[in-house]
Structure 1
Amino acid sequence: MRVRVLGVDPGLTRCGVGVVEGVAGRPLTMLGVGVVRTPVDADLSHRLLAVEQGIEQWLDEHRPDCVAVERVFSQHNVRTVMGTAQASAVAMLCAARRGIPVALHTPSEVKAAVTGSGSAGKAQVGAMVTRLLRLGAPPKPADAADALALAICHIWRAPAQNRLQQAVALHAATAPTTTKGRTS
């Protein structure tokens, strides 16, 4: 089943967005890529509003089945990680408001899915995104390429994750229950 995914590489100054459509194991199609930018000197609340408005426009235009957001991880610069977390929360809120499922992927998961190495550099990710989507050049800036990589990662990983979740649910539903040390 073809799926359309909006990838979001959260950031307060540059929030990468990219839409990819396809099926795991088949050629994928890029439907759009860009960056939602906010002015560094603007008030935080206005910057978050600008990110929200930008993501809403992408959701309106592309109508994704799912939104894949980079999972925020601890960085040395607390200010940077706070802005990233805030932009991430805005993206998740926009999707939830519309009833669109959200998937979180770590940077190493995305890199491993796209390049085969969880420690790949930005240039490697950009090169593989270009190759996988049959683009003429790597998307610029790197935030845009990272957003496409998130969407690709989700398309490739979601079927396996869904099967795993179904197996866990089936096991839980069929496992004997225990009451006071006895199985029923």
Structure 2
Amino acid sequence: MPRYASRSWRKFDPAALAERSGVAAAAAFTGTRRVLGLDPGSLRTGYGIVDCDGRGDVHVASGCVQVRGASLAMRLHQIHRRLLELVEEYRPDEVAVERVFMHRNADSALKLGQARGAALTAVVAHGATVYEYAPRAVKLALVGNGGADKAQVAHMVRVLLSIDEPATTDVSDALAIALCHAHARRSAARLAAMGSPG
């Protein structure tokens, strides 16, 4: 995940995270939800699938979609097709992805945006709801530090899901995004319970 320019010492606020992401407006908070975290790229798209409920999170599957092709259009087609196959197999209820941010390299930003679009149109076609999180929010949710590096994020992913170290940063980033969303969902559920009468 790219570094974010904001201050890294700001305290993590689960309620604010849930509200900003839109989770607080979700109709249902109870039961197990399957979350697909995505870390899109024009050559590699990491994915992480987690089942979450009010008690914790369980790793279902994770990996990296690697595409090849002489043209960007062909690579985007492969991303879209592979993601369609992925959501058909695992049927996620919700999808979490990093929010778009300004990139210094315009060409890289354009390719990233196109890869992101190819991935998201595939998951939306199956009816999954998409939620977005700033890179710093993901790091805060997992590590407690918005300036955490990739090694720290990967370590917390391993600890929280009781799995071996993810093979690549694309995979650990995708799982981190899924876990961030799971955290926001539980925070929203607690807020809803506190606000309910009786």
So what's the TM-score if we normalise by structure 1?
A: 0.82
RMSD (Å) for aligned C-alpha atoms: 1.8
CA contact under 8 A between 2:44 and 2:67: conserved in structure 1? yes
Is 1:37 the counterpart of 2:95? The answer is: no
Q: Which has the larger radius of gyration?
A: 1
**What do the CA deviations read for 1:12-43 (whole angstroms, capped 9, x no partner)?**
1111011011124x33111111111122x521
Match of 1:176? none
Check whether the contact 1:8–1:18 (CA below 8 A) recurs between aligned residues: yes
1:139-159 per-residue CA deviation (whole Å, 9 max, x = no partner) reads 121000000001111111134
Offset, 1:72: 1.8
Structure 1 residues 109 and 11: CA distance shift in structure 2, 3 A: same
Q: Deviation per CA, 1:59-87, whole angstroms, max 9, x where unpaired? A: 01111010111112112122222222111
The alignment partner of 1:75 has SS state of coil
Which residue of the partner structure matches residue 144 of structure 1?
A: 171
How many residues are matched? 162
> Paired residue for 2:98, among 64, 67, 70?
70
Is the alpha carbon distance of 1:111 and 1:58 closer, same or farther for their aligned partners in structure 2, counting shifts above 3 Å? same
Within the alignment, does 1:96 sit opposite 2:124 as a pair? Answer: yes
Show the counterpart of 1:28: 57
- 5 Å-filtered alignment, 1:1-184, equals 1-24=31-54, 26-39=55-68, 42-136=70-164, 138-161=165-188
- Secondary structure of 1:54's counterpart equals helix
Give 5+ residue unaligned stretches, structure 2: 1-30, 193-198
Residues in 1 aligned to 2:146 and 2:85: alpha-carbon distance in whole angstroms: 31
State the TM-score, normalized to the length of structure 2: 0.76
Write the letter of the residue equivalent to 2:57: L
**RCO higher in 1 or 2 (8 Å CA, sep ≥ 6)?**
2
- Structure 1 regions of 5+ residues with no counterpart? 166-184
Conserved 8 A contact 1:5-1:20: yes
